[in-house]
Homo-oligomer: A and B are copies of this chain.
Amino acid sequence: MPKRTRKNRQHITGTGFKNLQNHLGYLEPLKAEQVEQIHQNSMKILRDAGIKVLSPPLRQHLKSLGCLVDGENFIVRTDADFIMEHIAKAPKQFTLTPRQTRHRLHIGGNHINFGMVSGPPNASDRKRGRRPSTYQDFQDLMRLAQSLNAIHFLGNQAVATTDLPVHTRHLDCMFSALTLTDKITACMSVGRERVEDAVNMVALARGVTLDELAQTPGAMTNINVNSPRVLDAEMSDGALAMAELGQMVIVTPFTLLGAMAPVSLPAALTQQNAEALFTLATIQSWRAGAPVVYGGFTSNVDMRSGAPAFGTPENTLANLAGGQLCRYYGLPYRSSGCSASNAVDAQAAYETQMSLWGALYGGANLVYHAAGWMEGGLVASYEKTMLDGDMLDGFAKMLSAIDFAPDEFALDAISEVEAGGHFFGHPHTLERYKTAFFTPMLSDWQNFENWQASGSLDAYTRAEKCWQETLENFTPPPMEQAIMESLQSYIAKRIEEIGDRPL
């Protein structure tokens, strides 16, 4: 087995996991009165246009609370009082606890958590190219996510497991996520039964009862609103089941300017806000106090082709503005790091950076897709996962407070090194140089001649070596035999129960 290199080790020991906080404040593109305008106009949309709610029991529930329900086309209309009354019940801050308590997450306030790519139907890597993703890809991406210190949580599914039976693949995926990683993992919210399976398995992995899990939540999911203005039944069923079980739900309208939302940023933000608030208020009206998060996913499409674009100026502004709306309502915030690039190149990096800076200084508590996301969500890339992991580690270092202990001013060293000299050999340097700076995993800082002599490897090529090495060296986090067996029995039982029945 190849040796783990010194450079990689610090990023990939699994012991360098750090909870991150933003100490620098926010960048806020909206004036206070513009936030207020977006709020007022969102309320108008919910009162006049309403939201199409596809779940009959949910419509019934909302009707019982006094909402106007149009039984023919399933439109539910609500007023501001309903929304604000229920939104106020959502907790401002909470924690999520995985089986490794060192990997506990803080959600809300100025806390920042980076999540793995989730959702793509394809995987790609430099050697095997782009292909429909499989269970093997899912497992490998779990291994990379576990290995990368900068990854705090796993999204709904790193990639689709297109080679597994559709009715039971959620069990396999949850099993892999819970055994190959010990970080917080999201489940897919597609109907009540899948969510219940996921939460049961999270409880088994933690060795706690469902009641205990409800007290210290450890499962999460994300649901989208099918913008414009449709709340899907499978998604809302799953979300309500999560809420009943006391687990976290993110609600993210999918508001691409020009396609699912108008081409104007104020309009798209208003629609995002209306759709998110309606769904979050609905969840709170179902189970007051359930941990929820407001998700923003507003970007624009390329108006020539209709293809989604990310890391654009509009996307960055929307990521920043979304945080202002969340702070207005006192809700935790989810945003994303995204790119539309087809190649792991400069475009992939600068788009991802643009959206990440928007997410970070927008105040996102959860940054979805922060590693590995390509092609506007159609591909999870092994190489991009590692490059993004390196970038995120850089952000983590940047987010740490600067050490201002008196000795860090090095006034003696500055006096002692002669004018025009250098600090390489000074004791102040020698005492600190090994750990003074962020050491990247993949950035290559050699001079051109040395870089050329070592093969002229660009970032994409270096990233390939890095994920291969990481997988070769991977050891799953330990799990008690009894817990492993309880998960295996649960799955065996459920596969038998489900049979060929569609979920």
> Which residue on B lies nearest to A374, using beta carbons?
B448
This chain's copy number in the assembly: 2
Do A312 and B394 have beta carbons less than 8 Å apart?
A: yes
Do A398 and B317 have beta carbons less than 8 Å apart?
A: yes
A257 touches B (CB below 8 Å): yes
8 Å CB contact of A442 from B347, B357, B397: B347
- The answer to whether residues A340 and B443 also contact, given A52-B420, A267-B413, A303-B434 and a CB cut-off of 8 A, is yes
> Which residue on B lies nearest to A396, using beta carbons?
B313
- The answer to whether residues A448 and B375 also contact, given A303-B434, A347-B443, A404-B266 and a CB cut-off of 8 A, is yes
Q: Smallest Cβ distance from A243 to chain B, in angstroms?
A: 23
Listed stretches A37-45, A138-146, A215-223, A478-486; interface member: A37-45
A343 touches B (CB below 8 Å): yes
> Which residue on B lies nearest to A231, using beta carbons?
B419
Do B27 and A437 have beta carbons less than 8 Å apart?
A: no
A147 touches B (CB below 8 Å): no
In the bound complex, how far is the Cα of B266 from the Cα of A442, in angstroms?
A: 27
Task: Specify which chain B residues have a CB less than 8 angstroms from the CB of A32 in the assembled complex.
Answer: none
- The answer to whether residues A423 and B261 also contact, given A305-B445, A345-B346 and a CB cut-off of 8 A, is yes
> Which residue on B lies nearest to A303, using beta carbons?
B433
In the bound complex, how far is the Cα of B260 from the Cα of A75, in angstroms?
A: 67
In the bound complex, how far is the Cα of B357 from the Cα of A445, in angstroms?
A: 20
> Which residue on B lies nearest to A271, using beta carbons?
B414
Looking at A307, A376, A443, which has the most chain B CB atoms within 10 Å of its CB? A443
A67-82: which have CB < 8 Å to B?
73, 75
Do B317 and A229 have beta carbons less than 8 Å apart?
A: no
Listed stretches A93-101, A151-159, A451-459; interface member: A451-459
Chain A interfacial residues counted at CB < 8 A: 122
> Which residue on B lies nearest to A305, using beta carbons?
B446
- The answer to whether residues A313 and B258 also contact, given A45-B411, A49-B415 and a CB cut-off of 8 A, is no
A259 touches B (CB below 8 Å): yes
Do A267 and B410 have beta carbons less than 8 Å apart?
A: yes
Task: Specify which chain B residues have a CB less than 8 angstroms from the CB of A130 in the assembled complex.
Answer: 448
- The answer to whether residues A437 and B41 also contact, given A343-B458, A443-B340, A443-B347 and a CB cut-off of 8 A, is no
In the bound complex, how far is the Cα of B413 from the Cα of A374, in angstroms?
A: 31
- The answer to whether residues A436 and B258 also contact, given A27-B27, A37-B404, A266-B402 and a CB cut-off of 8 A, is yes
Do B342 and A444 have beta carbons less than 8 Å apart?
A: yes
Can you pick out 28 interface pairs between chain A and chain B where the beta carbons lie within 8 Å of each other? A23-B29, A25-B25, A25-B27, A27-B361, A41-B409, A48-B415, A51-B419, A73-B419, A75-B419, A228-B420, A260-B423, A261-B423, A263-B432, A265-B403, A267-B428, A300-B437, A305-B445, A305-B447, A307-B446, A309-B437, A312-B438, A346-B346, A347-B458, A348-B349, A348-B459, A353-B357, A357-B357, A375-B448
- Which A residues fall within an 8 A CB radius of B? 23-25, 27-30, 34, 37, 41, 44-45, 48-52, 73, 75, 130, 226, 228-230, 257-267, 270-271, 300, 302-303, 305-309, 312-314, 316-317, 320-321, 340-354, 357, 361, 375-376, 378-379, 384, 387, 391, 394-395, 397-398, 402-404, 408-411, 413-415, 417, 419-424, 426, 428-429, 432-434, 436-438, 440, 442-448, 450-452, 456, 458-460, 463
